[in-house]
Amino acid sequence: MAAGPIAERNQDATIYVGGLDEKVSDTLMWELFVQAGPVVNVHMPKDRVTQSHQGYGFVEFLAEDDADYAIKIMNMIKLYGKPIRVNKASAHQKNLDVGANVFIGNLDSEVDEKLLYDTFSAFGVILQTPKIMRDPDTGNSKGFAFINYASFEASDAAIEAMNGQHLCNRAVSISYAFKKDVKGERHGSAAERLLAAQNPLSQADRPHQLFADAPPTQMPMMHQMPVPPPPIMQPSMQVPMTMMTQHQMAPPPRIMPWQNQQAPPQPPTYQPPPPPPPPSFNSFAPPGFHGGFVPPPPPPPPSQQAQMPPPLPPSHPALPSHMQGHMMPPPPPPMTMSSGPPMPPPPPMQPNNMMPMNWKPSIPPPPPPASA
């Protein structure tokens, strides 16, 4: 597990791990980070007298992709109750404290170091693990914390955007922290900004700005219209694929003269005649017979013409058109004769003795006189 000389290390595949508890060992570091990828070696600088590590270490992976993956999944996880800081070792060597220290007050008790890191790393690179001041006996938060940024641009953006915002239902107050060596003076002075401008960090050392900076997008030109989809070709107009070359597009389909005009009317389609209605009592009615009524009976014999004719049945109003042919008319009332034999029933209807509607009864001529 002993690390070789720094010159022989693959710096691109080596990560820096900070914020380690004193109980963390080389073996534990190996077992933890081998879950992200093949580990080549682990190095934790130790004190020469006490032989205890100084709270940080280096892990070298076999490939650079494994190191990047370990940074994504292992950063800010808690080890023995303390969140660890994981980033590229090359970036750690360049990160210098420029004085962009931010004070965060009025914190809720539910806010931990990981929540602070995930929230404030969107504005720039954070050099150290966010430090929440806690009670040494109970471990409870005192309600304020400190964040050390790698540039004043990041700290200015964090103060401008997050001051007065709610974090776990409490509005936090953000400002530059007071300096330790100078009483009553805050960080962010003109002298600190001038020194920080002389040693700026490269853009490659700012991976967390992906959260704050949107990726560049190409705006569409206003004068360019979207290309419409190609029209669907008819089977008779399809072009075989063998006639199309790699740099030659298929010719557009031939436009018929009527495609830009109103479509011609469709010719009338032939419809078969409706089926004949079911036979009914008026199926043999002559032309001009309507209403579904039975014609009057034939006139009585001449010998009974002197008697009173039977009363005619009351006339019925005309039925609606949708009800014609579906109702049976009432039968004629029975005829009562004062004298003489009863009237015979009317003969059944036959197709050849049906009377038209305009038929009127007439008195037949008298019989010829009998010869002597």
pTM of the complete model beyond 0.75: no
Whether the pLDDT of residue 3 is over 50: the answer is no
CATH of domain 95-201: 3.30.70.330
Could you read off the pLDDT of 324-370 as tens digits, one per residue?
A: 555 565 666 655 554 556 666 666 655 555 555 555 556 667 777 77
Q: How far apart are CA 18 and CA 364, in angstroms?
A: 136
Q: How far apart are CA 6 and CA 43, in angstroms?
A: 10
6-92 and 95-201 in the same fold: yes
Residue range 6-92 forms a domain whose CATH class is alpha beta
Which residues, in sequence order, are CB contacts of 245 under 8 Å at separation 6+? none
Q: Average pLDDT in the 173-196 region?
A: 83
Q: How far apart are CA 31 and CA 39, in angstroms?
A: 9
- In terms of residues, how long is the chain? 372
Most confident of 46-55, 154-163, 204-213: 154-163
Q: Locate the domains of the chain by residue range.
A: 6-92, 95-201
Q: Per-residue confidence at 7, pLDDT binned at 50, 70, 90?
A: very low
Give residue 128's pLDDT.
78
Q: Average pLDDT in the 184-196 region?
A: 82
Could you read off the pLDDT of 95-152 as tens digits, one per residue?
A: 567 788 999 999 999 998 888 988 998 898 888 788 899 888 888 899 999 998 888 8
Q: How far apart are CA 124 and CA 172, in angstroms?
A: 19
Whether the pLDDT of residue 245 is over 50: the answer is no
